[in-house]
Amino acid sequence: MFENLLNWTKNRLPEPQAEWLVSRSRVVYSKLTSDSTGGKSARAAIMVFSVRIFSAVLAFALQVFLARWMGSEQYGTFVLVWVVATMLGGLSCFGLQTAVIRFVTEYRSQKDFRHLYGILLAAPGIAIFASVLVALSGFQMLYWFGDQITSISVLPFYLALICLPFMALEEIQEGIARSYEMPLTAIGPAFIVRPASILGVMGFAYALGFPANAVTALSSAIIATFIATILQSLILWRRIIRLNNAEFQRLKPEEAGVEKSANYTFQFRYWISISLPIFLAGGFYGLLLNADVILIGIFLNPEAVAIYFAALKSLALVHFVHYALRAASTHHFSQFYAEGDIKGLSDYANKIARWTFWPTLLFAVIMVLAGKYILMLFGTVFTDGQNLLLILAIGIVVRASIGPMDSLLAMTGQQKTAMWVLATTLLCNIVLNISLIPAFGITGAAFATSSAMIIETAAMYVAANRKLGIGVFVFSSGRKSAVEGYVS
């Protein structure tokens, strides 16, 4: 079928252009269909990116619906509380949602089924237990200091805390699914099932006569998150049990180092030693992503939060390129490192950087040019955020020039380095936001956030160069600095 399409194209174009197009198409097709690491990553990235494009349309429609339905003030309240809840849901995993990718990939590569079964059993339980403790601590903090929250009602924060265990379990299961190369199972629940369910539950609540406010929206989000997490659990664990059984059956028990009567072992000390720096780095990264929205909520009003968040959501498609390649490449970084192939790691990381940068640049230009008309969908008041698009897009594009560098460092034993880079970047981001928001409002927040992204990019590039001997940049192949066996 593919060859017939190429022949049809070749017969309808001038000879020089047709020959070039056909030859390039064959090269791309062969890479996409190959069983190499690059081919698998490309297919996974395309699948993830396709899902994210669909989910972007769905999520954008949901945000437009919520903004028009609730009005800018109630929408801003919902956005602020939901951002805090999402951040806490990720932090409740204490870094295990990222570290589990490394552990599962490492154990599967080594055919270490005893420890593989141990981490698969322990990770969800740890996430649920920790998130419940975080939620209970949050309830207590709201009980003590809830009267200090004057700009919005404290009830939405109570509702958001109920969602934390489901969010934490979903984060862990996403990491496990990514390590097993199940991109749809990893991101489908969070990016398709959840927004679709929120839209459905909200519509049903509206039909029943519930008020269009932040409380109704957050209640709908709780129900939607529960649906998405349960569905993900049913699909994921059924497939993992089948895959693990198939892999185990291909080995003799003495080769796998595991007895069927005792088929799991826990390495809590090792897991904590790896997860803790990743948790700190992930916490800094989560705060880095959300500090602007939270600080706007502190210094300004819910309407300002709504306008700023609408601009961020309008640039969501630009962010998705980075996310798709990050989801597709993280476990391969770990695989190259586990095999000691630093040259392969360098070439692969630079390839991912190029795949990240050029689509990001293209989408950024499109979104900035069409920004005014996109923001008008939220309502006329939201066009005040038009000037934010270019400022934020610059930071996003610069950050894309080195690809998912934080994941590269985390998967190659440099999680502490990533932690310190993100901590420094977060500090700069907070200082800049606190300095610029009171003087320049949401425009100041955009400048602060974009500047922080540029600082992070420079620091991550230097860190990878010094710690791994790898120069990862969109215009660099990395071959000069990559040295086999460099990592000690």
- Name the pLDDT band for 227 (thresholds 50, 70, 90): very high
For the chain, helix (H) and strand (E) counts, in that order, are 19, 0
Tell me which of 246 and 78 has the higher pLDDT: 78
- For 102-148, give the DSSP string: HHHHHHHHTT-HHHHHHHHHHHHHHHHHHHHHHHHHHHHHHHHHGGG
Q: Reduce the DSSP state of residue 265 to 3 states and report it.
A: coil
Specify the pLDDT at position 478.
46
The whole-angstrom separation of Cα 76 and Cα 32 is 42
Q: Does residue 300 lie within any of the structural domains?
A: yes
Distance CA 89, CA 221 (A): 13
Say if CB 105 and CB 416 are below 8 A apart.
no
Q: Is residue 234's pLDDT more than 70?
A: yes
pLDDT at 263: 65
- Average pLDDT over the chain reads 81
Residue 487 lies in a domain: no
Instruction: Report the 3 state secondary structure along 372-391.
Output: HHHHHCCCHHHHHHHHHHHH
Res 86 pLDDT > 70: yes
Residue type, 296: I
Evaluate whether residue 104 is within a structural domain.
Answer: yes
Higher pLDDT, 146 or 138: 138
Mean of pLDDT values over 65-86: 88
Tell me: the pLDDT tens digits for 88-128? Answer: 888 888 888 888 888 888 888 787 888 888 899 899 999 99
CA distance 129 to 294: 26
pLDDT of residue 308: 93
Rounded CA gap, 207 and 217, in Å?
Answer: 14
Q: Pull the structure tokens for residue 300.
A: 């300004």
Q: Looking at the 3D structure of the chain, how many domains does it have?
A: 1
- Please tell me the least confidently modeled range out of 18-22, 40-44, 303-307, 383-387: 18-22
| H/E element, 104 | helix 96-109
By 3-state DSSP, what share of the chain in percent is helix, strand and coil, each rounded to 5? 85, 0, 15
Domain-embedded: residue 462: yes
Extract the tokens encoding 312: 């961020």
- Find where tokens 């360098």 sit: 346
- Does residue 80 fall inside a structural domain? yes
Q: How confident is the model at residue 270 (pLDDT cuts 50, 70, 90)?
A: confident
Residues shown for the chain = 488
Phi, psi of 244 (to 5 degrees): -65, -40
Residue type, 196: A
- How far apart, in Å, are the Cα atoms of 258 and each of 112, 117, 271? 8, 10, 20
In a domain, 222, yes or no: yes
Secondary structure (DSSP) of 277-289 = HHHHHHHHHHHHH
Residue 444 has what pLDDT? 96
CB 433 within 8 A of CB 295: yes
Q: Which of 295, 255, 289 is nearest to 425 (CA)?
A: 289
> Could you tell me which of 2, 225, 230 has the C-alpha nearest to residue 10?
2
For residue 246, being part of any structural domain is answered with yes
Q: What is the pLDDT of residue 38?
A: 54
Domain that holds residue 330: 34-468
Rounded Cα–Cα distance for residues 361 and 241 (Å): 41
Whole-prediction pTM value? 0.72
* Block residue for tokens 């780095």: 281
Question: And the tokens for 421?
Answer: 């880079």
| pLDDT at 54 exceeding the cut of 70 | yes
259: β partners: 262
Place of tokens 């968040």: 309
pLDDT digits (tens, 9 = 90+) for 447-479: 999 999 999 999 999 998 888 888 888 887 544
The answer to whether residue 64 sits within a structural domain is: yes
Please determine, for residue 35, whether its predicted confidence score (pLDDT) is greater than 70. no
Is 70 exceeded by the pLDDT of residue 137?
yes
Percent of the chain with pLDDT over 70: 82
Residues 385 and 326: beta-carbon distance below 8 Å: no
Characterize 45-81 residue by residue with b for buried, 16 or more Cβ atoms within 10 angstroms of its Cβ, and e for exposed: bebbbebbeebbebbbebbbbbbebbbbbbbbbbbbb
- pLDDT for 421: 87
